[in-house]
Structure 1
Amino acid sequence: MTSEPIRDFSLLRDALGPLRDREQVALRLLESSARHSFDPDRELEWDRPPEDGKWFWPPELVSLYGTPLWRRMPEEQRMDLARHEAASLASLGIWFEIILMQLLVRHIYDKPVTSNHVRYALTEIADECRHSMMFARMIEYGGTPAYPLPRFHHHLGRVLKTFSTTPGSFAATLLGEEILDWMQRLTFPDERVQSLVRGVTRIHVAEEARHVRYAREELRRQMVTAPRWERELTRISCGQAAGVLSACFVNPRVYTDVGLDRREAVAQVRASGHRREVMRSGARRLTEFLDDVGVLRGAGRTLWKRSGLLA
């Protein structure tokens, strides 16, 4: 059996270089963490009441935006839906970050504990702990319930994380971070949005930029050095994870909770060209990178297309 051709020999050179390359990247990320880390409990005004007439999520990013149902909804109901969808996304973020923390701990289990690489992984785990608590507090601030994943997808996530390869773990990390990051970059400068929500997204964007760099560097290295079977399994597991994320991005219970017919709302979201473009735009930077490092091939690419995140 022949190995896959390397499309870019610079990737091979970078991946097979001395371990100090990995250490230098980690050191730069540690230095950035020391300069630009935040304590949400102190940075944000949690005691400040929500502002009248402001959204909890930009309307253009709400799942029903532009649909016939959206056009029939009064403004108050639209804003209520945005508030519940923000809580749904925060709930999804917590679920994902708990998985990510487990994957990072597993990744460093047998690596040198004094290395910069391990130190940065532990720093990222600490960041994700704060982010999860911040998201939970934001849900409470909005006065909505939390929206856990449906039981099937919750347990599917358990399977995916249990059998994830090392490169698969970093691919899943990017999947969970980059789409939400794209949306949050549109949110934190938007003056139509609640100040507290803008503060949450600002903190998350600033700290996730480091996490994305760490995951991209490691995935690029792993997709060159990993054995063929591991690369193939990574492609399939990443495609499966894309399907889970796409299906669970908004919990359909939000529609019921704001007084809409769930079936009608779900059908209109699925038929919405605007929503499809929003999700693909959020994933575009990621899919270009995954394609470049060889993740979007074969069955994995088919699964990504089926998820709706790749044209």
Structure 2
Amino acid sequence: MTDALLAESPRLKGILDRLSSMSIEDYYNPYKMFEWPDTLPQRMWWMSPELTTTYGTEVAEELTEDQLYALSKYESVNFYSLNVHGIRELLIEVTHRIHTDDFAQASEFFHHFIGEENEHMWFFAEFCQRYGGKIYKQLRGGAETVPPGDAASLLVFARILVFEELVDHFNLRMGADERLHETIRGINRIHHQDESRHIAFGRELVKVLFESFAARATQDELTQVSDYLKRYLTYSFETLYNPQVYKDAGIAKPLEIRRRLLEGPRRREFEAQVFRKTLPYLTKLGLVQDGVAA
């Protein structure tokens, strides 16, 4: 990709200008915005129950009410831990590209993006450490190296888009769920506000990058990119199913529970809900071929 390519995309330039202005107008100080109670009630929903990995499954029917509340607590902490890890990765990748020739016109917006994401990482980590006592480690499988060459930046920003759209699916639901504590609703609402800008930018940037890549790629290279993203979609979704979460919630045989849930009938329905906007978009672009996860 070259700076000239960005210059040839009036739509992307317009989006960059508009979103940069919105970032300035909507700026808030996260260190002053949130009230952090000393504790949160244990017998409450920490995550919308419909978003928990056991919802609508036989496993849920085997659990007590206290276990379901505990599960929602630790799945909530796992979800915010995934945000911490995902944000750290995208910050590294975007920082590598800011003020380079390829991304010169996007660099002003990148400054806003980096600042906002750094603040997101702080308040998600703060929640995890205050109320969960830890940040869950990433599950193995997500460290697959992005192939070098023409597809590298395309895949980096496609991964960022997948991550942000997965997260926003949860943010949008939990930010409006009155069953949740206001602290939980608040961090989800404010994250959705910022992520809606990042997703708008990410979709257009990925489109521009893919059009440039596809114009000179072979069918084999297009297939490799598609297969890579299918694997990443699957990995991203399966990080929601953390066996340490089940153990912390007092559920016996956590690895077996994870296997049952991933192999169970609800998994495909849940995955389709999470990626209901993402997968059709990537498929329409041609980035993911046939829209079926690998």
SS at 2:55's partner residue? coil
User: 1:285 Cα deviation (Å)?
Assistant: 0.6
Whole-angstrom distance in 2 between the partners of 1:58 and 1:161:
37
- 2:280 paired with 1:288: yes
Task: From 167, 186, 199, give the equivalent of 1:180.
Answer: 167
Whole-angstrom distance in 1 between the partners of 2:35 and 2:194:
19
Counterpart of 2:89 in structure 1 is: 99
Alignment of 1:1-311 (within 5 A): 18-47=8-37, 49-51=39-41, 53-111=43-101, 115=105, 117-150=106-139, 152-153=140-141, 156-157=143-144, 159-160=145-146, 165-226=152-213, 227-228=216-217, 231-260=222-251, 261-297=253-289, 301=291, 304-306=292-294
Whether the 8 Å contact between 2:226 and 2:287 is mirrored in structure 1 is yes
Question: For residue 160 of structure 1, what is the amino acid of its counterpart?
Answer: V
Q: Which sits farther off after the overlay, 134-143 or 48-57?
A: 48-57
User: 1:252 Cα deviation (Å)?
Assistant: 1.1
Counterpart of 1:11 in structure 2 is: none
Flag the 1:112–1:259 CA change in 2: closer, same or farther, 3 A.
closer
Whether the 8 Å contact between 1:40 and 1:200 is mirrored in structure 2 is no
Give CA-to-partner distance per residue, 1:166-216, whole Å, 9 cap, x none. Answer: 211121111101122112211111111121111110011000001101111
Question: For residue 141 of structure 2, what is the amino acid of its counterpart?
Answer: H
Which structure 2 residue ranges, 5 or more long, are not aligned? Answer: none
SS at 2:118's partner residue? helix
Whether the 8 Å contact between 2:146 and 2:155 is mirrored in structure 1 is no
Whole-angstrom distance in 1 between the partners of 2:271 and 2:116:
26
User: 1:19 Cα deviation (Å)?
Assistant: 4.8
Whether the 8 Å contact between 2:53 and 2:240 is mirrored in structure 1 is no
Q: Identity rate of aligned residues, in percent? A: 22
Whole-angstrom distance in 2 between the partners of 1:53 and 1:87:
15
User: 1:231 Cα deviation (Å)?
Assistant: 4.7
Give CA-to-partner distance per residue, 1:244-293, whole Å, 9 cap, x none. Answer: 21332232111111221213311331243334312211102111110111
> What TM-score, normalized by structure 2, do the two folds share?
0.87
Which structure 1 residue ranges, 5 or more long, are not aligned? Answer: 1-14, 307-311
Whether the 8 Å contact between 1:172 and 1:241 is mirrored in structure 2 is yes
Superposed CA RMSD:
2.4
User: 1:68 Cα deviation (Å)?
Assistant: 2.4
Whether the 8 Å contact between 1:93 and 1:135 is mirrored in structure 2 is yes
Flag the 1:291–1:23 CA change in 2: closer, same or farther, 3 A.
same
> What TM-score, normalized by structure 1, do the two folds share?
0.83
User: 1:101 Cα deviation (Å)?
Assistant: 1.1
Question: For residue 118 of structure 1, what is the amino acid of its counterpart?
Answer: S
Q: Which sits farther off after the overlay, 100-109 or 216-225?
A: 100-109
